[in-house]
Structure 1
Amino acid sequence: MKILTRSLGAAPLAIFSYCMASILMTVTNKLVLSSYDFKLNFLLLAIQSIVCVLLLEVCTFFRLLSHRAFDRTEAKNWFVVSLALVLMIYTGSKALQFLSIPVFTIFKNLTIILTAYSERYLLSGSPVTRLMLVSFGLIVASSVVAGWADITAGKTLRDSSASVVVAYGWMALNSITTTSYMLFLKSRLKSTGFKDFDTVFYNNLLSVPTLVVLSLLTEIPEATRLYERYYGPNSDVNASEFYGLTTGILVSSVSSFGISYSTSWCMRVTSSTTYSIVGALNKLPIAIAGMVFFDAVVNFASVSGVALAFFGGIVYSLAKAQQSAAAPKPIPLPAHTRLAGSDDDQ
């Protein structure tokens, strides 16, 4: 009972932690990495994973934290989680290659519904109530409204010559791999009893080989172009720009450590569906900041999209509160039937 109470109390803090880490990561990439012509996505992810592992080992060496020692059996069991994570990232990048960002966001939010029903029937999770469906609808509607201009103008594809089947095929694969990653992570956390730093260690360590292989297979031409830009005979890049890029990668890598930890924490104390909802709603502060501090377009569609997403989050919170209130409470045993030293007394 005490463990359950602690978990329920930790959920809001875990969600807040995940939101802050996600926002920090996004803003860092927006303000720093977007200023440089760096397109080696898999290499960047591999560097982030390596930095996460090194940072974890340094903290472990100084006894600031601890994690399980590497075990081959546990690594084999956990590899499917790290593979699903890499596939989610890869299919997402391919979908964005063909689809416009508004359309990608719409289908990404539709994935929340797929996750909710998959968690219900595959992991025996909480039922999907009507109020939850209303909240899902509001969140999806928010992305539709925000991207309505592009949709009505027929700008659903980045390249008009691209195949619609290929574009939406990658989007479908991204929805499937996203749901698979969250379900695999949730089920493995239950079966292995991993703590949060154990998850950070195995997730990042096992992701490195896959990311390195994907980078070698797909990014050699881009790496050659980047090398020529910085070190070629016609290079016009100064040292300050190189150090700025290096610093940006380092800061984003440290931020990814926070993402890894808060993701594990959030998934452990909440549901996969709640995690998906939080992932969709944590873009609201960034959107608002873009309207207030940056040059983001402020019009009826953008403001309405933010408002709908906000109300969708409130409705989902109410749905979860109703579900918790309706859940059957354990019936306490009479005092004379309780054994000394039972779990409730410890």
Structure 2
Amino acid sequence: MVEDKKSDDYTVDMNKVDQGHKEFEAAPAPSPVPRAVSSMSNNPALPVLAYCGSSIMMTVMNKYVLSGLDFNLNFLLLCVQSLVCIAAIQTCKSMGLITYRDFNTDEARKWFPITLLLIGMIYTGSKALQFLSIPVYTIFKNLTIILIAYGEVLWFGGSVTNLTLFSFGLMVFSSLIAAWADIKHAVESSGDTSSKVSTLNAGYVWMLINCLCTSSYVLGMRKRIKLTNFKDFDTMFYNNLLSIPVLLVLTLLVEDWSSANLARNFPEANRDGIFFAMVLSGASSVFISYTSAWCVRTTSSTTYSMVGALNKLPIALSGLIFFDAPVTFPSVSAIAIGFVSGIVYAVAKIKQNSKPKTGVLPTPVSASSQSMRDSLRS
């Protein structure tokens, strides 16, 4: 599924999630790899560019589909993306390019709650992206890192330094500026002002729900991965395979499949382009998973974390280039501050991981919360 790979939003935190969750290991090649090809694959610049490009492609393709007039078949979009992802990784496995464990009913039953959290995360993210511009969506995504940090402190004994807390402040500040810039532009622009502000408010609500769903998914997946020892493509396989029947039921029961609504969602003028974007966004989840593992293998987890932070800027700029996101001083300032907050956060985590834990996130600890921590760690 799309965001299943989009660990680009939580690159540093996902390093914790993947403890014991080794990097992607390709299946042994049947024949020696030419020296030129091997040299190219080990060039650190290539995986970094591929990772950034696949992240941008996925975000832009999703926004293209969701920005259509009154698009309301979000569950269908997610189902198509999951089908494409399963088809892609199964083809790669049959060709010997990747490897992952075969389907197991008991493992699927244990993993299913994580898949439900993922569906909630992806669906609310698609709704937020439908109402908000790419820059605002990208900036607000940073707030999820704060929720994950509090969850790590409460449930996994995590700690946060003062520099990390400073990055959190920058994230909140950039989000406030982005929201203010969006509302200001909506009020000052011509047309139905109340309708535009109402659309933005809906986007902010969906964004808040998405942050809660995303943090729940990341924290829940960390706990479950420790029990199952899933690797990258194991996680991708089970998440997408288990989500397909759920999404099919939801799209058939909840969404409008009348001919009039289908014509409104897929207008004849750009129908082929929408279908192509849906397929490409599904394939991009495979690209992101592979290129992120490729980036870690050829560089380091530290470089990967920095790339994830730096990647926020081109993703936000893509919204200004490919869509009609307002280009104003407040909006550009919000992007810049959000970009800086990502850099500060990555640097803080790198420094924290290089020495013993010192600062602790200011969270009141009662006897009941301590008991909760102990039970969850067991």
Q: Given the two structures, how large is their TM-score scaled by the length of structure 1?
A: 0.71
Distance 1:99 1:124, change over 3 A: same
Within 5 Å, give how 1:165-244 maps onto structure 2. 172-221=208-257, 223-228=258-263, 237=268, 241-244=270-273
> Quick one: which amino acid aligns to residue 128 of structure 1?
V
Deviation at 1:63, TM superposition (A): 1.9
For 2:175, the equivalent position in structure 1 comes to 143
1:257 corresponds to 2:283: no
CA gap of 1:176–1:37, structure 2 versus 1, over 3 A, is closer
- Cα separation, 2, equivalents of 1:80 and 1:259: 23
Is residue 139–residue 338 contact of structure 2 (8 Å, CA) maintained in 1? no
Segment of structure 1 superposing worse, 174-183 or 77-86: 174-183
Deviation at residue 219 of structure 1 after TM alignment: 1.3
Deviations 1:13-49 (A, max 9, x none): 9987654432110123345774687542111110111
CA separation of 1:141 and 1:265: change in aligned 2, threshold 3 A: farther
Question: Are 1:315 and 2:335 matched, yes or no?
Answer: no
Q: Which residue of 59, 80, 94 maps to 1:47?
A: 80
Q: Separation in 1 of the partners of 2:325 and 2:263?
A: 33
Encode CA deviations 1:286-334: one digit per residue, 9 max, x unaligned: 3334446765433221221122122212221331232133228xxxxxx
**What is the DSSP-based 3-state SS (H/G/I as helix, E as strand, rest coil) of the residue aligned with 1:321?**
helix
- For 1:157 and 1:187, the matched residues in 2 are separated by 44
SS at match of 1:220: coil
Pick aligned residue for 2:143 from 110, 116, 123: 110
Letter in 1 for 2:172: V
Q: Which runs of 5+ in 2 are unaligned?
A: 1-18, 24-41, 188-192, 358-378
User: In structure 1, the residue corresponding to 2:108 is in which secondary structure?
Assistant: helix
Counterpart CA distance in 1 for 2:198 and 2:207 is: 17
Aligned pairs for 1:86-97 (under 5 A) are 86-93=119-126
8 A Cα contact 1:99 1:158, kept in partner? no
CA distance in 2, matches of 1:321, 1:313: 12
**Aligned residue identity for 1:319:** A
Structure 1 counterpart of 2:54, one-letter code: A
Q: 1:89 & 1:228 partners in 2: Cα distance?
A: 24
Q: 1:264, CA displacement in angstroms?
A: 8.3
Q: Aligned residue for 2:113?
A: 80
The worse-fitting range, judged by mean Cα deviation, of 133-142 and 84-93 is: 84-93
Give the AA of the match of 1:148. W
Output the TM-score relative to the length of structure 2.
Answer: 0.66
Q: Is the contact made by 1:82 and 1:207 (CA closer than 8 Å) also made in structure 2?
A: yes
Cα contact 1:36–1:245 (8 A) shared by 2: no
In the alignment, the residues of structure 2 paired with residue 320 and residue 213 of structure 1 have an alpha-carbon distance, to the nearest angstrom, of: 41
Partner AA of 1:215 in structure 2: T
* C-alpha separation in 2, matches of 1:173 and 1:249: 24
CA drift at 1:185:
1.8
Alpha-carbon distance in 2 for matches of 1:84, 1:278: 26
Paired with 1:244 and 1:170, the residues of 2 have a C-alpha distance of 26
Match of 2:32 in 1: none
Distance 1:82 1:262 in 2: 23
Contact (CA 8 Å) 1:28, 1:251: kept in 2 or not?
yes
Deviates more, 1:207-216 or 1:20-29: 20-29
- How many angstroms apart in 2 are the aligned matches of 1:319 and 1:303? 24
Checking the alignment, whether the CA contact within 8 Å between 1:131 and 1:319 is kept in structure 2 is yes
Once the two structures are TM-superposed, the CA of residue 179 in structure 1 deviates from its matched residue by: 0.8
Q: Distance in 2 between matches of 1:73 and 1:230?
A: 39
> CA offset at residue 116 of structure 1?
0.6
Letter in 2 for 1:129: T
Tell me if structure 1 keeps the 8 A contact 2:69–2:265: no
Quick check: which has more Rg, 1 or 2? 1
